[in-house]
Chains A and B, each alone.
Chain A
């Protein structure tokens, strides 16, 4: 069981299932999934998903940007929703994120609906993503005080940063699971506040590594790793800002 906070920084959690290209899929799938989840996600919307990929072509490395349309099924409250696009299911929870125990059943229901609609053989990707918005009061923040994950600036460099963008991929197992950790500054909504986004994205490296019947168990393990990484990234001073419940 992870730590609990009265003022948690999570602004979004996403669980993403991406199926292999061999999976049979057609335009009716989102509608069929909706029929199965409309009790939990009654509100329908549409969203464009932008995908950026680096591909190697005859002239070298090229950036490819694709836009696909996804159906969005929202809960009555609106803060939890399932996105169903071509060979994709994502379940998002935006503020207020209450707890993993609250979020997980939504993932399970949406995943079961997809499994009953499409013959899933393997996954190209399963990912569990958490976006944390960390607001530190004051005109500038001493990163050493708040973060165990922070950039290093050598003594000959200016020690003040106006913005930062830091990333790391942490390996987690011999099977090739990774957690992508990113820390970036964003524009504050109010004056005299430093705002950073700490993004944790846990996934597996080898496509097809997880069997469909093991997917939900894998997510549970991924969540516990994400929790550990999050706690590893911050200090007690930051926990005080989040108001840890002991």
Chain B
């Protein structure tokens, strides 16, 4: 594998993800030691609160630093990053050393940084939604079908999340919860269905399903699609 960065390029970036809340040493010196100004953006706690990411990005030499004083900017960045426990201050220092670069901490929105994002595309939002649903102990045997349904009914995401959340809370991990698209064989109709399949059926199941339905049904009134929690009395698959 070959991957080289042009010394004339203005922009280069490294991203790392960790699950522990502590960054590994980034080993960025070779990338940053070219004497060009670069900017630094940092953000932690992406949604799950578990992921930490960092962005290092070169900017043109003409771009001014935030305070006009590179040393002050450097100290401030070091304080901020180290203060959050994301990166040891020695690592931050290591990244700055060997480079005469000016350090520029900017608000990310001014350059459309990685973390200043609006989910204007719907496909990645649905990918996210499905992975959140799946992480909540719900199985999705045919994700493509569910994704197609959600693409056709963009307003259903919120209902789906809240209903799956309520179902998970009510039924727990002992029962299989399977999210599928039900297609009516007789008329042209389809809707999302969350099948509850316990290992052993008992007389309380239907009442519990009714309780979960009551939690989300009010939110379906103005939606373009439909969602149903039910059981097909089948064993878990």
Contact = CB atoms under 8 A, between A and B. Distances in A.
B11 A169 contact: yes
Contact of A12 (B111, B122, B152): B122
Q: Quick one: which of A56, A83, A151, A197 has the most chain B CB within 10 A?
A: A56
Interface stretch (B39-47, B162-170, B174-182): B39-47
Interface string A29-55: 000000000000000011111111111
Interface string B64-108: 000000000000000010011000000000000000000000011
A11 B123 contact: yes
A153 B27 CA distance: 13
Interface residues of A, number: 54
Nearest to A181: B13
B19 to A, nearest CB: 13
Nearest to B115: A54
Interface in B111-127: 111-125, 127
A188 B170 CA distance: 29
A36 B1 CA distance: 52
Contacts of B42: 61
Contacts of A78: 152
Q: Quick one: which of A47, A51, A88 has the most chain B CB within 10 A?
A: A47
Interface of B: 1-3, 9-13, 15, 17, 41-46, 57, 80, 83-84, 107-125, 127, 130-131, 134, 142-144, 151-155, 157-158, 222, 224
Given A50-B118, A90-B120, A189-B143, 4 more contacts: A54-B113, A63-B46, A131-B123, A207-B110
8 contacts: A14-B120, A46-B155, A47-B122, A48-B155, A54-B107, A131-B121, A133-B123, A169-B13
